[in-house]
Amino acid sequence: MPSYDAILNAFVTLMVTIDPPGLAPIFLALTAGMNRAQRYSVAVRSCILSLVVLIAFSLLGAAILNILGITIDAFRVAGGLLLFYIAFEMIFEKRQQRQEKTSEVAITKDHIANIAVFPLAIPLIAGPGAISASILLSTQMGSAITGKLILAVILAVSMGIVLLAFIAAERVDKYLGSTGRSILTRLLGVLLAALSVQFVADGAKALFG
Protein backbone atom coordinates (compact mmCIF):
# COMPACT_ATOMS: atom_id res chain seq x y z
CA MET A 1 0.00 0.00 0.00
CA PRO A 2 1.63 3.30 -1.10
CA SER A 3 2.06 5.96 1.56
CA TYR A 4 -0.11 9.07 1.70
CA ASP A 5 2.89 11.18 0.66
CA ALA A 6 3.46 8.96 -2.41
CA ILE A 7 -0.20 9.25 -3.43
CA LEU A 8 -0.19 13.03 -2.97
CA ASN A 9 3.09 13.34 -4.88
CA ALA A 10 1.66 11.27 -7.76
CA PHE A 11 -1.47 13.43 -7.96
CA VAL A 12 0.45 16.73 -7.85
CA THR A 13 2.97 15.51 -10.44
CA LEU A 14 0.22 14.50 -12.87
CA MET A 15 -1.78 17.67 -12.33
CA VAL A 16 1.21 19.93 -12.92
CA THR A 17 2.43 17.89 -15.89
CA ILE A 18 -0.95 17.75 -17.62
CA ASP A 19 -1.68 21.40 -16.68
CA PRO A 20 -5.51 21.64 -16.98
CA PRO A 21 -5.55 25.48 -16.67
CA GLY A 22 -3.06 25.72 -19.54
CA LEU A 23 -5.05 23.29 -21.69
CA ALA A 24 -8.37 25.09 -21.21
CA PRO A 25 -7.68 28.00 -23.60
CA ILE A 26 -6.21 25.56 -26.15
CA PHE A 27 -9.43 23.55 -25.94
CA LEU A 28 -11.40 26.70 -26.66
CA ALA A 29 -9.22 27.42 -29.70
CA LEU A 30 -9.51 23.86 -31.03
CA THR A 31 -13.29 23.81 -30.67
CA ALA A 32 -13.94 27.29 -32.05
CA GLY A 33 -17.28 27.38 -33.86
CA MET A 34 -18.69 24.36 -32.03
CA ASN A 35 -21.79 24.57 -29.85
CA ARG A 36 -21.82 23.53 -26.21
CA ALA A 37 -22.97 19.94 -26.90
CA GLN A 38 -20.26 19.42 -29.50
CA ARG A 39 -17.59 20.81 -27.17
CA TYR A 40 -18.78 18.52 -24.40
CA SER A 41 -18.57 15.51 -26.73
CA VAL A 42 -15.02 16.42 -27.76
CA ALA A 43 -14.01 16.95 -24.11
CA VAL A 44 -15.36 13.58 -22.95
CA ARG A 45 -13.82 11.62 -25.83
CA SER A 46 -10.41 13.24 -25.45
CA CYS A 47 -10.29 12.61 -21.69
CA ILE A 48 -11.34 8.96 -22.04
CA LEU A 49 -8.73 8.34 -24.73
CA SER A 50 -6.02 10.06 -22.68
CA LEU A 51 -6.93 7.97 -19.64
CA VAL A 52 -6.63 4.74 -21.65
CA VAL A 53 -3.24 5.78 -23.04
CA LEU A 54 -1.81 6.79 -19.66
CA ILE A 55 -3.08 3.67 -17.87
CA ALA A 56 -1.60 1.50 -20.62
CA PHE A 57 1.80 3.12 -20.22
CA SER A 58 1.63 2.94 -16.42
CA LEU A 59 0.98 -0.82 -16.65
CA LEU A 60 3.26 -1.76 -19.56
CA GLY A 61 5.88 0.98 -19.53
CA ALA A 62 8.21 -0.73 -17.05
CA ALA A 63 8.01 -4.04 -18.97
CA ILE A 64 8.90 -2.26 -22.20
CA LEU A 65 11.91 -0.68 -20.49
CA ASN A 66 13.06 -4.13 -19.32
CA ILE A 67 12.80 -5.50 -22.85
CA LEU A 68 14.94 -2.60 -24.11
CA GLY A 69 17.45 -3.11 -21.31
CA ILE A 70 16.82 0.28 -19.73
CA THR A 71 16.86 0.43 -15.93
CA ILE A 72 14.09 2.26 -14.19
CA ASP A 73 16.65 4.47 -12.43
CA ALA A 74 18.06 5.60 -15.79
CA PHE A 75 14.53 6.27 -16.99
CA ARG A 76 13.81 8.17 -13.78
CA VAL A 77 16.74 10.51 -14.54
CA ALA A 78 15.69 10.91 -18.19
CA GLY A 79 12.04 11.41 -17.25
CA GLY A 80 12.99 13.94 -14.59
CA LEU A 81 15.02 15.92 -17.13
CA LEU A 82 12.07 15.86 -19.55
CA LEU A 83 9.71 17.07 -16.83
CA PHE A 84 12.20 19.82 -15.97
CA TYR A 85 12.20 20.92 -19.61
CA ILE A 86 8.41 21.12 -19.52
CA ALA A 87 8.64 23.15 -16.29
CA PHE A 88 11.11 25.50 -18.00
CA GLU A 89 8.66 25.97 -20.86
CA MET A 90 5.84 26.69 -18.44
CA ILE A 91 7.83 29.25 -16.45
CA PHE A 92 8.96 31.12 -19.55
CA GLU A 93 5.64 30.64 -21.42
CA LYS A 94 7.18 28.52 -24.18
CA ARG A 95 4.75 25.61 -23.71
CA GLN A 96 1.68 27.76 -24.33
CA GLN A 97 3.15 29.03 -27.60
CA ARG A 98 3.95 25.49 -28.76
CA GLN A 99 0.46 24.21 -27.87
CA GLU A 100 -1.17 27.11 -29.71
CA LYS A 101 0.96 26.35 -32.77
CA THR A 102 -0.15 22.70 -32.62
CA SER A 103 -3.80 23.71 -32.48
CA GLU A 104 -3.39 26.04 -35.46
CA VAL A 105 -1.88 23.24 -37.57
CA ALA A 106 -4.73 20.90 -36.70
CA ILE A 107 -7.38 23.45 -37.67
CA THR A 108 -5.77 24.31 -41.00
CA LYS A 109 -5.69 20.62 -41.92
CA ASP A 110 -9.45 20.26 -41.26
CA HIS A 111 -9.09 17.63 -38.54
CA ILE A 112 -12.11 18.96 -36.64
CA ALA A 113 -13.89 15.58 -36.78
CA ASN A 114 -10.95 13.88 -35.06
CA ILE A 115 -9.98 16.79 -32.81
CA ALA A 116 -10.58 14.74 -29.66
CA VAL A 117 -7.87 12.29 -30.76
CA PHE A 118 -5.33 14.65 -32.31
CA PRO A 119 -4.05 17.00 -31.09
CA LEU A 120 -6.22 17.23 -27.95
CA ALA A 121 -5.76 13.77 -26.42
CA ILE A 122 -2.38 13.14 -28.06
CA PRO A 123 -0.08 14.99 -27.63
CA LEU A 124 -1.65 17.83 -25.61
CA ILE A 125 -3.15 15.84 -22.70
CA ALA A 126 -1.33 12.49 -22.87
CA GLY A 127 1.93 13.98 -24.09
CA PRO A 128 5.53 12.84 -23.52
CA GLY A 129 5.65 14.48 -20.09
CA ALA A 130 2.43 12.86 -18.84
CA ILE A 131 3.46 9.47 -20.26
CA SER A 132 6.90 9.70 -18.63
CA ALA A 133 5.33 10.74 -15.33
CA SER A 134 2.88 7.79 -15.49
CA ILE A 135 5.71 5.28 -15.94
CA LEU A 136 7.82 6.86 -13.19
CA LEU A 137 4.91 6.98 -10.76
CA SER A 138 4.02 3.38 -11.57
CA THR A 139 7.43 2.26 -10.33
CA GLN A 140 7.11 4.38 -7.19
CA MET A 141 3.72 2.88 -6.38
CA GLY A 142 5.23 -0.61 -6.39
CA SER A 143 4.41 -3.76 -8.33
CA ALA A 144 1.46 -4.81 -6.13
CA ILE A 145 -2.04 -4.68 -7.58
CA THR A 146 -3.07 -2.16 -4.90
CA GLY A 147 -0.47 0.33 -6.08
CA LYS A 148 -1.52 -0.09 -9.72
CA LEU A 149 -5.18 0.39 -8.84
CA ILE A 150 -4.45 3.52 -6.80
CA LEU A 151 -2.47 5.00 -9.69
CA ALA A 152 -5.32 4.18 -12.09
CA VAL A 153 -7.73 6.00 -9.74
CA ILE A 154 -5.36 8.99 -9.57
CA LEU A 155 -5.19 9.06 -13.37
CA ALA A 156 -8.99 8.86 -13.58
CA VAL A 157 -9.39 11.72 -11.09
CA SER A 158 -6.83 13.76 -13.03
CA MET A 159 -8.75 13.23 -16.26
CA GLY A 160 -11.96 14.18 -14.44
CA ILE A 161 -10.36 17.48 -13.44
CA VAL A 162 -9.23 18.04 -17.04
CA LEU A 163 -12.81 17.40 -18.17
CA LEU A 164 -14.14 19.92 -15.64
CA ALA A 165 -11.55 22.44 -16.83
CA PHE A 166 -12.73 21.96 -20.42
CA ILE A 167 -16.40 22.26 -19.50
CA ALA A 168 -15.78 25.41 -17.46
CA ALA A 169 -13.21 26.80 -19.92
CA GLU A 170 -15.36 29.59 -21.33
CA ARG A 171 -16.47 30.96 -17.96
CA VAL A 172 -13.10 30.54 -16.21
CA ASP A 173 -11.15 32.16 -19.05
CA LYS A 174 -13.30 35.29 -18.79
CA TYR A 175 -12.54 35.70 -15.07
CA LEU A 176 -8.91 34.53 -15.11
CA GLY A 177 -7.74 36.60 -18.06
CA SER A 178 -4.33 36.36 -19.70
CA THR A 179 -2.51 37.78 -16.65
CA GLY A 180 -4.04 35.36 -14.18
CA ARG A 181 -3.46 32.43 -16.51
CA SER A 182 0.19 33.42 -16.94
CA ILE A 183 0.75 33.69 -13.19
CA LEU A 184 -0.90 30.33 -12.49
CA THR A 185 1.07 28.55 -15.22
CA ARG A 186 4.36 29.93 -13.91
CA LEU A 187 3.60 28.87 -10.33
CA LEU A 188 2.78 25.34 -11.53
CA GLY A 189 6.01 25.36 -13.55
CA VAL A 190 8.11 26.13 -10.47
CA LEU A 191 6.40 23.29 -8.59
CA LEU A 192 7.01 20.86 -11.45
CA ALA A 193 10.67 21.93 -11.62
CA ALA A 194 11.14 21.00 -7.96
CA LEU A 195 9.43 17.63 -8.44
CA SER A 196 11.52 16.87 -11.54
CA VAL A 197 14.77 17.66 -9.71
CA GLN A 198 13.69 15.17 -7.04
CA PHE A 199 13.14 12.52 -9.74
CA VAL A 200 16.65 13.13 -11.12
CA ALA A 201 18.22 13.12 -7.66
CA ASP A 202 16.56 9.82 -6.70
CA GLY A 203 17.56 8.19 -9.99
CA ALA A 204 21.14 9.44 -9.87
CA LYS A 205 21.52 8.29 -6.25
CA ALA A 206 20.40 4.77 -7.20
CA LEU A 207 22.62 4.67 -10.29
CA PHE A 208 25.83 6.01 -8.76
CA GLY A 209 25.25 5.44 -5.04
Q: Report the Cα 74 to chain-centroid distance in Å.
A: 21
Q: What is the pLDDT of residue 46?
A: 94
pLDDT tens for each residue of 57-89:
999 987 887 888 988 788 778 878 887 887 787
Domain ranges of the chain: 4-201
Q: What is the pLDDT of residue 108?
A: 39
Rounded to whole angstroms, the Cα distance separating 185 from 190 reads 9
Return the minimum-mean-pLDDT range out of 53-57, 137-141, 167-171.
Answer: 167-171
The pTM of the whole model exceeds 0.85: no
pLDDT tens for each residue of 17-51:
898 987 887 788 777 667 788 888 889 999 999 99
126-141: average pLDDT: 87
- Is a pLDDT exceeding 70 seen at residue 107? no
What letters, b where the CB count within 10 A reaches 16 and e where it falls short, cover 121-155?
bbebbbbebbbbbbbbbbbbbeeeeebbebbbebb
Residue 89 or residue 155, greater confidence: 155
Q: Residue type for 161, please?
A: I
Q: What is the pLDDT of residue 99?
A: 54
Mean of pLDDT over the chain: 82
